[in-house]
Structure 1
Amino acid sequence: MLKQTPHLFYSMLALVAILCLFDLINAPVALLLGVVVAQLWSSPMPKATSKLSKYILQYSIVGLGFGINLVHAAKAGTTGLAVTALSITLTLLVGMVIGRRLGIGRNISLLISSGTAICGGSAIAAVAPVVGAKDDETSVSLATIFLLNAIALLIFPFIGRLLDMSQLQFGFWSAIAIHDTSSVVGAASVFGSDALNIATTIKLERSLWIVPVSLLFSYLYGGGGKRASVPLFIILFVVSMVVGTYLPIPHGLLLGVTSVARRTLNVALFLIGMGLSFKAIRSVGVRPIVLGVTIWLIVGVVSLYGIRVFL
C-alpha cells in the first residue's frame, strides 16, 4: 500500500467519478481502475464506501429501467419468450450445480449465473444487494462476466460467419449467449441490420427477467435466512419501465436519464472494484472464473445447436 492522506484519496475518487460521469471511461475500465486503486491505497472509510456503492448501484438500475420498452420487449414473440425462459432457467440451475461442485460460495454462484443468464453486469448489480453479497464477491463476479463479455464481442461475429449463420440465427444466438446488452448490440451490428434488430429485441426481453429473478432470490435468500420483502429498488425498477413505456415523456429525456444511469453505474463499479484487493482475490481463487467459463460454454454451445436445428 502507498502512503496516503484522506485528501489525496478523495481527490482521486472525485477525479474518477468525473471521468465516469463524462463518459470518458466505460464499465470494465471503471471496475479495473477500482481494482488497481485497491492494491495501492486503502479507503479511509471502507464501510461508508461500500454502502455508497450499493446505493449508487440501486439508483442506477432504476434509471436504466426507463430505457426498457415493455411493448418492444413483448414483440419478441412466443418463440423468443420460450427460448429465453428455458435458457435462463437452465443457466441458473446449471450454474448453481457447477458452483457447488467447485466449492464456490452461494453468492458468487448466484451472481455469475445471473449475469450469464440475463444481462451481465446489470443483472449482477440488481441481484447483489438482494442476496446480501459482499463487495469482493460482487467484484469477482463482475470481473469474470466483463472478461467473457469482451471475448464474446470479438469472436461471435467470426464464428457466425464461419458457420454461415443466417441473420435470424445469429440475432437469437448473440442475444442468448452474450452477457451485456452493449456487446450484444456491438456483435449483432457487425453481423447485419436484421441480426441487430432481432438481437436487440430478444435482449430487451431477457432484461425483464431481472425482476422475477431478483424477487425469487429475495424470497429464497434475502433477510439473513428470513423471507425478505420485495426490495424497494426492484419496485422502482418496474415503475421506471412502465413510466418510460406508457407516459408521454420526450424520448430525449428518457435517453438522458438512462445515459446518466449508465454513467453512475460506472461510478458504482469503480467503488466495488476498490473492494477487490489481492487478498480478496486469493481468498476466492480461480474457481469463479472456471465457473463463468464453464456456464458460458454450455450456454453458447447448447443454444447454438438448438438455434441451428430449429431456426
Structure 2
Amino acid sequence: MPDRRYRRLERGGSLEPMIVLAPADRRTAPGPVAGLVVAVLLGLGATAAGAAVPVIGAPVFAVLTGVALSPLLRRRAALWHPGLDFAKGRVLQFSVVLLGAQLSLGEAVSVGVDSLPVMLGTLAVCLALAAVLGRRLGIGRDLSTLIGVGTGICGASAIAAVTPTIRARSTDVAYAISTIFLCNIAAVLLFPPLGHALGLGQEAFGLFAGTAVNDTSSVVAAASTYGPTAAQHAVVVKLVRTLMIIPIVLALAATVRHRDGAAPAEARPARWRAAVALVPWFLVGFVLVAALNSAGLIPAAAHPPAHRAALVCIAVALAAIGLSTDVAGLRRAGPRPLLLGVMLWVAVSATSLGLQALTL
C-alpha cells in the first residue's frame, strides 16, 4: 500500500495529504524499456539459433522461448508490458518495412505475371477455407485469420503484418506461429521427394515451393534440396507472394474499421483523411523501400544487412509476443487450431499443383 504522509501548506494551518510510493511500489512501477531489453536479448539469441538451424528459423525459436519464459514475467506484468508492447507494435511494423529492401518491382512483375494465377488461386482457397473451417471447428476469428494469412502468404512475416491491424492477442499469435512452423517442417521433408515423384522441373518446383511453403527460410531449404534453379525461382515467387500482404492488410483494416463502428458524424474526419488512415504506415514504407530498391538507390551490399535486420526485428517482436502469452489460454485452445493449419496447408499444396497443371 502507498505510504500516506502530510505536508503543511504555506498559508494556513491545514494539512494536505501527500502520496509517497513505498519501496515495494517503486520496484513495481512500470518501466518503459525493461520488457524491450528482455525481448531484444531473446530475439538476438533466437536469431543465432535460427542461423544454426535454418529449417526451424529464428521466429519459431523466439516465440517458443518467449512462451516458455512468460510465466516468470506475469507476476510483475506492469514492469515488463510497456517495453513488450513497443516490441510487439513498432518493432514488428518496422520489420515489415525492411522486407521491402529484398524486392525488385521489375522482377516481381515479370515473375508475378507468369505465376499470378497460381498465387491468387492458392491465396483465395486458403483464406476462404480458413473462414469456413475456422467457424466449423469453433476457432476464434482472429486466430483463423492469422493461420489463414500465415499459410496463404508468407508465414511469420504475414502474421507480423496482420497482428497490429486486427489487434490480435498474443496467445493467438503464438499458436499461429507454432502451427505454421510444424507445416514448414513437414514441407521441407516431404516436398522434394514429392516433386521428383511428380516429375516437376526446376522452375515448376520453385513455383510449387514458393506458393505452398510458408516461411522464407523453409522455402529456401525445400527448394535448395531440389536444385539451384528451383531455389532461385522459389525465392522470387516467395517475394512476389509477400506483396499480397498489402491488399490483405488493407481489406482487414477496412473490416476492423467497419466492425468497430464509425465515429459520430461530428467527429468523422474528411474522406481523404479517412482513406489515408486506412493505410497502415508500415505498408506504405514497405512499398517505398521496394521502389527505392527497384530504382537502384539501395546498393546490393545493403541487401544482406537489411534482410538480417528484418529477421532480428521479427525475432524481437515475436519474443515479446511469446513473453506476453497466456500459456493457460494456449492449453484451452486445444488441438483444433493445429488441425486447421494442417488442413489449410494440404489444401494450398494441392491447389498449387492443380493450378500449375491447368495454367502452365
TM-score, scaled to structure 2: 0.78
Matching of residue 143 in structure 1 with residue 178 in structure 2: yes
CA distance in 2, matches of 1:310, 1:29: 38
Matching of residue 207 in structure 1 with residue 239 in structure 2: no
CA distance in 2, matches of 1:13, 1:248: 32
CA distance in 2, matches of 1:127, 1:187: 26
Matching of residue 219 in structure 1 with residue 245 in structure 2: no
| 2:154 alignment partner, SS class | coil
Matching of residue 110 in structure 1 with residue 156 in structure 2: no
Residues 136, 169 of structure 1: alpha-carbon distance in 2 compared, 3 angstrom cutoff: same
Aligned to 2:321: 272
Match of 2:93 among 58, 73, 76: 58
When the two chains are superposed, the root-mean-square deviation of aligned CA atoms in Å is 2.4
Matching of residue 38 in structure 1 with residue 76 in structure 2: no
Measure how far apart 1:303 and its partner are: 2.1
| Contact 1:75–1:201 (CA under 8 A) maintained in structure 2 | no
Measure how far apart 1:290 and its partner are: 1.0
Measure how far apart 1:13 and its partner are: 4.8
Match of 1:231 among 271, 275, 280: 280
Matching of residue 253 in structure 1 with residue 286 in structure 2: no
| Contact 2:192–2:223 (CA under 8 A) maintained in structure 1 | yes
Structure 1: stretches of 5+ with no match in the other structure: none
Identity across the alignment (%): 34
CA distance in 2, matches of 1:15, 1:85: 38
Matching of residue 19 in structure 1 with residue 19 in structure 2: no
- Deviates further, 220-229 or 200-209: 220-229
Tell me the amino acid that sits aligned with residue 281 of structure 1. Answer: L
| 1:261 alignment partner, SS class | helix
CA distance in 2, matches of 1:139, 1:182: 19
Residues 222, 112 of structure 1: alpha-carbon distance in 2 compared, 3 angstrom cutoff: farther
CA distance in 1, matches of 2:140, 2:117: 30
Matching of residue 294 in structure 1 with residue 294 in structure 2: no
| Contact 2:39–2:316 (CA under 8 A) maintained in structure 1 | no
Residues 240, 222 of structure 1: alpha-carbon distance in 2 compared, 3 angstrom cutoff: farther
Residues 59, 165 of structure 1: alpha-carbon distance in 2 compared, 3 angstrom cutoff: same
Measure how far apart 1:153 and its partner are: 1.5
Match of 1:157 among 173, 186, 192: 192
Q: Rg larger in 1 or in 2?
A: 2
CA distance in 2, matches of 1:278, 1:295: 24
Match of 1:263 among 312, 333, 337: 312
| Contact 1:17–1:267 (CA under 8 A) maintained in structure 2 | yes
Cα deviation, 1:137-186, whole Å, max 9, x if unaligned, reads 11111111122112211221122223332223211211111101221121
Tell me the amino acid that sits aligned with residue 85 of structure 1. Answer: L
- Deviates further, 69-78 or 89-98: 69-78
Aligned to 1:181: 216
Match of 2:291 among 233, 242, 252: 242
| 1:170 alignment partner, SS class | helix
| Contact 1:169–1:308 (CA under 8 A) maintained in structure 2 | no
CA distance in 2, matches of 1:170, 1:268: 32
Cα deviation, 1:107-157, whole Å, max 9, x if unaligned, reads 111111011111111001001111111111111111111221122112211
| Contact 2:126–2:348 (CA under 8 A) maintained in structure 1 | yes
Tell me the amino acid that sits aligned with residue 104 of structure 1. Answer: I
- Deviates further, 38-47 or 167-176: 38-47
Residues 241, 226 of structure 1: alpha-carbon distance in 2 compared, 3 angstrom cutoff: farther
CA distance in 2, matches of 1:217, 1:12: 31
CA distance in 2, matches of 1:17, 1:168: 34
TM-score, scaled to structure 1: 0.89
Measure how far apart 1:100 and its partner are: 1.1
Structure 2: stretches of 5+ with no match in the other structure: 1-26, 51-57, 263-276
How many residues of Structure 1 are paired with residues of Structure 2 in the alignment?
305
Residues 14, 64 of structure 1: alpha-carbon distance in 2 compared, 3 angstrom cutoff: closer
Tell me the amino acid that sits aligned with residue 345 of structure 2. Answer: W
Tell me the amino acid that sits aligned with residue 82 of structure 1. Answer: P
